[in-house]
């Protein structure tokens, strides 16, 4: 019995540095992904959202997207242009590094709604992306573990430090270009419930890569939602008023 306790103790004290190094490496990889993403100060794009139900029927949305990144400050705005029943709907996200605020404007109600913590797991505009999925993926919000690393791929296990609809997420990172290739979302029973796949990457500026298509699969309901980007405009200044609640009601005008 004494030998068992000595062996266990030695294993623990030897394993702790290895675990810490593993976590540090995983954190640095995700921080590099975030750093490269944030190097683009201004970005404006056209987006298509295609929502597939379990029978393969689709609903299409056209969206104008605006974003700003400046140090710890992140701002983004999505404005729906088509179809007519969602035209003018706007979604504003403001992040100052320690606090995130999401606001949804519904023109039919002429009202701006602030998304609460209890609504983060709700579907965004009937899609398979939730409000949490569309939030800022700040490295400081997660505890990371490096599961596997090869020459060009790192697989990270990420657990959000505060409340999340997911028990953990597995991120697949291309370490040649530090881009997110895939994410797998698990519930508390360890079952994968959603999967995100990114493809059609473009080098938009100095080894900064953007996916031109992302697909979120809801494995529980056999649904999926595609986001497709086009007409990217990089680092053309966007006026600050664009990212205000007042402007949220004005749409793309």
In this structure, the number of other CB atoms found within 10 A of the CB of residue 54 comes to: 10
Q: What residues are paired with 203 via a beta bridge?
A: 209
Number of structural domains found in the chain: 1
Question: CB burial class (10 A; 0-12, 13-18, 19+) of residue 81?
Answer: middle
The CATH number assigned to the domain holding 127 equals 2.50.20.10
Domain that holds residue 186: 3-71+80-85+114-239
Residue 172 placed within a domain: yes
Confidence of residue 3 (pLDDT cuts 50, 70, 90): low
Report the distance separating Cα 170 and Cα 145, nearest Å.
Answer: 9
Greater model confidence, 205 or 60: 60
Cα angle vertex 14, ends 13, 18, to 5°? Answer: 115
Residue range 58-114, pLDDT digits in tens = 999 999 999 999 877 899 999 999 999 999 999 999 988 778 899 999 998 889 999
Residue range 233-248, pLDDT digits in tens = 999 999 999 999 888 8
Residue range 104-122, pLDDT digits in tens = 999 988 899 999 999 999 9
Residue 102 placed within a domain: no
Residue 234 placed within a domain: yes
For residue 247, what is the DSSP state? H
Q: Which residues of 6-41 are buried (b: 16+ CB within 10 A; e: fewer)?
A: eeeeeeeeeeeeeeeebbeebbebbeebbebbbebe
Residue 101 placed within a domain: no
Residue 42 placed within a domain: yes
């Amino acid at each position: 019995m004494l030998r068992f306790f000595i062996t266990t103790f030695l294993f623990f004290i030897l394993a702790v540095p290895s675990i810490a190094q593993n976590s540090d490496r995983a954190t640095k990889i995700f921080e590099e992904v975030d750093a490269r993403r944030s190097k683009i100060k201004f970005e404006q794009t056209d987006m298509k959202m295609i929502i597939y139900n379990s029978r393969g029927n689709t609903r299409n949305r056209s969206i104008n997207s605006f974003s700003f990144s400046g140090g710890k400050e992140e701002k983004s705005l999505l404005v729906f242009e088509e179809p007519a029943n969602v035209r003018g709907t706007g979604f504003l996200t403001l992040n100052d590094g320690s606090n995130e605020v999401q606001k949804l404007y519904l023109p039919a109600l002429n009202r701006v709604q602030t998304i609460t913590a209890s609504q983060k797991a709700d579907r965004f505009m009937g899609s398979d992306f939730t409000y949490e999925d569309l939030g800022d993926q700040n490295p400081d919000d997660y505890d990371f573990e490096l599961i596997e690393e090869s020459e060009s791929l790192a697989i990270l296990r990420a657990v959000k430090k505060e409340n999340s609809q997911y028990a953990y997420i597995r991120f697949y990172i291309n370490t040649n270009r530090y881009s997110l290739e895939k994410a797998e979302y698990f519930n508390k029973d360890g079952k994968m419930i959603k999967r995100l796949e990114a493809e059609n990457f473009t080098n938009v500026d100095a080894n900064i890569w953007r996916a031109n298509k992302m697909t979120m699969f809801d494995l529980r309901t056999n649904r999926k939602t595609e986001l497709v980007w086009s007409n990217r405009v990089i680092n053309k200044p966007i006026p600050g008023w664009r990212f205000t609640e007042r402007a949220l009601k004005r749409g793309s005008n």
